Amino acid sequence: MEMNQEKLCTSKADVSSDSAYHCSTCHDDEEWSNTSRGRAKSRSLSASPALGSTKEFRRTRSLHGPCPVTTFGPKACMLQNPKTIMHIQDPASQRLTWNKPPKSVLVIKKIRDASLLQPFKELCVYLTEENNMIVYVEKKVLEDPAIANDDNFGPVKKKFCTFREDYDDISNQIDFIICLGGDGTLLYASSLFQGSVPPVMAFHLGSLGFLTPFNFENFQSQVTQVIEGNAALVLRSRLKVKVVKEHREKMTVQNGIEENGVVSANIEKEVGKQIMQYQVLNEVVVDRGPSSYLSNVDVFLDGHLITTVQGDGVIVSTPTGSTAYAAAAGASMIHPNVPAIMITPICPHSLSFRPIVVPAGVELKIMLSPDARNTAWVSFDGRKRQEICHGDSISITTSCYPLPSICFRDPVSDWFESLAECLHWNVRKKQNNFAVEE
Query: Which among 183, 287, 392, 414 is annotated as catalytic?
Result: 183
Cα separation, 96 vs 82, in Å, equals 15
d(CA 327, CA 309): 18
What is the distance between the alpha carbons of residues 89 and 370, in angstroms, rounded to a whole number? 44
Is 113 a catalytic site residue?
no
Taking the mean position of all CA atoms in its chain, how far away is CA 378? 17
Rounded (to 5) percent helix, strand, coil in the chain: 25, 30, 45
Q: d(Cα 247, Cα 159) in Å, to the nearest integer?
A: 46
C-beta separation of 203 from 178 below 8 A: yes
Which runs of E-coded beta strand occur in 322-362? 340-346, 356-359
CA–CA dist 166, 131 (Å, integer): 29
DSSP codes of every residue in 352-394:
T---EEEETT--EEEEE-TT-SS-EEEEETTEEEEEE-TT-EE
Distances (CA, A) of 15 to 33, 36, 41, 55: 20, 13, 8, 18
DSSP 214: B
Task: For strands 176-181 and 104-109, give the pairing.
Answer: parallel
Strand partners of residue 403: 236
Catalytic positions are: 183
